[in-house]
């Protein structure tokens, strides 16, 4: 293992910029997922010059070698658990007590993390269906299926979305016996479930389902599709889970609804046909939506009838609004732009610091008059090779009072810890990454999600497996005293209220 300081480099400058940028600007989601597809990895060709440049950068020490681990001095790599019986792409993470729940396109895996340096597998469940976005609440576990399947079983096979009897939606498992999860319910939703977000209550769990990319040829995914599906799951009778509504977030006339029209009106921007991901703050009845071409702030005071408060667009630097994170005071939101759909090399001088980045917005005003006000962009400055997919992806807060700190995944750009307390001047304070999976072709991989939970950072690497990191820094050390019983990052807790109550 080699530790290096932050690297600033100019890989990719000599590449034909116009060709790459044209590809990124015109590429929209070809199907319901701009994220990597069902296959464990996706490969793409690169030019001879790009191959030579990547090899030269490794030799000069500008980038790590293939699979080499590097990190800042305040990070310790405690553990890596490779994939086992589930060979698909690793996806999102959730936490409960001493367990971490790791999604995979082929199902999910449960780790015992009581000793973070030595995670142990306690269960692996085969249940294919991309992308298997995962959440837990009490004795219930939820999985998103966003690929057209022959039925709702865990033995289903792929089937065209043009067939009426195809199935996509949300699956529910009973995890009261952690070693033997039991599949108890399924709810079909329009256009599937790319991601989902829980709004937990005492008797019921509401599930907000994000999906998009309707098509007139898909019987269960018809345009317009400018809203979210809402599922109600009774805790004591999860088998009675059902769809209770489809609130429209972008009302408008015509077949395309009222969201961002995308290209050609706004070149390089994906048309809004639903949402990609939502984050809720149940304690404040707030939610933020990353909805393809739009970012929104809305009220969830009535969880079955969310109400949009404000809506913003960035038709200059944001191609695909992917995810959202509130700060603890709920006076800021970090939105991410998944330029290139997670499968392109966008962390280079050619693309620059403002695209494929985070956008930091302050929330100004009160009540229904609150507004999202743009302040700045944040992007890692460690340029990656053109054989590495890299763009802003999933992250979480690091709970320190009086500070706005976040850990975030960047695919093959690794993991970044950064400070946005001053929303106009964000800065990185720690990082971890691996070298490229290949120097001869673009191979999709890297950290899908990187989250802080009970004193450690956990990452689900799409290709390399489950990683555990320890962060030792005076700026983040106070977070080690905050202990949570459960964490679904898209259902943000009030860390300090919950901690103080304990």
Would you state the pLDDT for residue 462?
97
- Residue 399 to residue 6: CA distance in whole angstroms: 24
Strand 321-326 and strand 286-291: the pairing is unpaired
Would you state the pLDDT for residue 32?
34
Would you state the pLDDT for residue 30?
28
473-499 exposure pattern, b = at least 16 Cβ within 10 A, e = fewer: bebbeebbebebebbbbbbbbbbeebe
- Residue 387 to residue 367: CA distance in whole angstroms: 46
- Residue 132 to residue 145: CA distance in whole angstroms: 6
Average pLDDT by stretches of 10, the chain with 502 residues: 41 36 32 36 75 89 94 98 96 98 98 98 96 98 97 96 97 98 98 97 97 96 96 98 97 82 96 97 96 97 95 98 97 97 94 98 97 98 95 98 98 98 98 96 96 98 98 98 97 79 42
Would you state the pLDDT for residue 46?
83
CA dihedral 145, 135, 225, 39 (to 10 degrees): -40
Closest CA to 377 of 327, 295, 417, 318: 318
Query: Which one-letter DSSP state was computed for residue 84?
Result: -
């Amino acid at each position: 293992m080699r530790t290096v300081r932050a690297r600033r480099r100019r890989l990719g400058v000599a590449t034909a910029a116009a060709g790459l940028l044209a590809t990124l600007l015109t590429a929209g989601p070809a199907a319901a997922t701009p994220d990597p597809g069902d296959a464990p990895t996706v490969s793409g060709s690169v030019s001879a010059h790009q191959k030579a440049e990547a090899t030269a950068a490794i030799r000069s020490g500008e980038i790590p070698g293939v699979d080499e681990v590097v990190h800042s001095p305040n990070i310790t790599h405690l553990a890596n658990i490779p994939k086992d019986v589930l060979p698909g792409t690793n996806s999102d993470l959730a936490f409960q007590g001493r367990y971490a729940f790791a999604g995979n396109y082929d199902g999910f895996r449960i780790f015992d993390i009581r000793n973070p340096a030595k995670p142990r597998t306690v269960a692996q469940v085969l249940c294919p269906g991309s992308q298997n976005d995962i959440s837990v609440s009490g004795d219930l576990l939820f999985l998103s299926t966003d690929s057209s399947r022959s039925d709702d079983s865990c033995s289903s096979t792929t089937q065209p979305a043009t067939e009426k009897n195809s199935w996509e939606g949300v699956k529910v498992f009973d995890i009261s016996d952690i070693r033997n999860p039991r599949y108890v319910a399924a709810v079909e939703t329009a256009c599937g479930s790319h991601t989902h977000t829980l709004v937990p209550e005492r008797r019921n769990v509401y599930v907000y389902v994000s999906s998009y990319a309707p098509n007139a040829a898909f019987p269960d995914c018809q345009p317009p599709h400018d809203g979210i599906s809402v599922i109600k799951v009774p805790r004591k009778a999860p088998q009675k889970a059902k769809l209770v509504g489809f609130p429209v977030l972008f009302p408008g006339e015509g077949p395309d609804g009222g969201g961002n029209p995308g290209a050609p009106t706004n070149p390089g921007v994906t048309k809004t046909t639903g949402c990609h991901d939502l984050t809720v703050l149940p304690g404040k009845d707030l939610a933020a939506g990353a909805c393809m071409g739009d970012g929104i702030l809305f009220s969830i005071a009535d969880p079955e009838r969310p109400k949009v408060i404000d809506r913003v667009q960035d038709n200059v630097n944001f191609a695909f609004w992917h995810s959202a994170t509130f700060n603890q005071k709920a006076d800021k939101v970090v939105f991410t732009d998944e330029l290139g759909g997670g499968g392109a090399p966008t962390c280079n001088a050619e693309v620059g610091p403002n695209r494929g980045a985070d956008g930091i917005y302050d929330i100004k005003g009160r009540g229904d008059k609150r507004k999202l006000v743009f302040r700045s962009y944040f992007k890692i400055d460690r340029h990656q090779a053109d054989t590495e997919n890299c763009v802003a992806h999933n992250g979480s807060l690091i709970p320190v009072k009086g500070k706005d700190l976040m850990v975030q995944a960047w695919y093959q750009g690794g993991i970044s810890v950064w400070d946005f307390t001053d929303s106009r001047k964000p800065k990185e304070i720690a990082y971890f990454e691996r070298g490229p999976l290949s120097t001869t072709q673009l191979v999709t991989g890297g950290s899908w999600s990187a989250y802080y939970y009970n004193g450690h950072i956990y990452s689900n690497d799409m290709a390399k497996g489950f990683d555990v990191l320890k962060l030792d820094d005076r700026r983040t050390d106070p977070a080690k005293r905050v202990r949570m019983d459960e964490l679904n990052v898209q259902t943000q807790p009030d860390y300090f209220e919950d901690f103080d109550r304990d």
